[in-house]
Amino acid sequence: MNRATLAFVVSFLLIGGVLCFFPINLFSGKIVENSTGTSKTISAPISLSYFFGVGYEEEDMEHIQDFYLTKEGYALAFCFLFGIPFLISLRVYYKYKLR
């Protein structure tokens, strides 16, 4: 495995681990709440860790029916998970190519 590929894999795992296991509310999302018998959708920043069940209390999810990312949230998650590691690996590739 060359250094650029290793840099991509390591940075992907590091960034993905931070985003998936720490409740960092960066991503645009929608929350479907059903507290009064009627469903209403609220726009709010959500974390990727919510999809793994990390970073929220059960009491906070009492009236929450569903939550999901919007198109902007998916785009930002893609940029963080693939774009930044790609740029890091590209930097490593050019650093060792010019030697």
Predicted TM-score of the model (pTM): 0.83
Q: Please state, in angstroms and rounded to a whole number, the distance separating the CA atoms of residues 67 and 34.
A: 12
Position 51 scores a pLDDT of: 85
48 alpha-carbon distance from chain centroid: 4
Q: How many CA atoms lie within 13 A of 57 on its CB side?
A: 2
Question: What do you get for the CA distance between the two ends of the chain, in Å?
Answer: 18
**pLDDT at site 91:** 94
pLDDT at 94: 92
Residue with tokens 């985003």: 19
Domain that includes residue 28, residue range: 3-97
Name residue 41's amino acid.
T
Count how many Cα atoms sit within 13 Å of the Cα of residue 92 in the half-sphere of its side chain: 16
Task: Give the chain's residues under pLDDT 70.
Answer: none
Nearest to 63 by CA among 98, 37, 25: 37
How many structural domains does the chain have?
1
Query: What pLDDT shows up at residue 26?
Result: 92
Q: What pLDDT, on a 0 to 100 scale, did the predictor assign at position 85?
A: 97
Note the pLDDT tens digit of each residue in 50-64.
Answer: 888 887 777 777 888
Residue 16: what pLDDT?
94
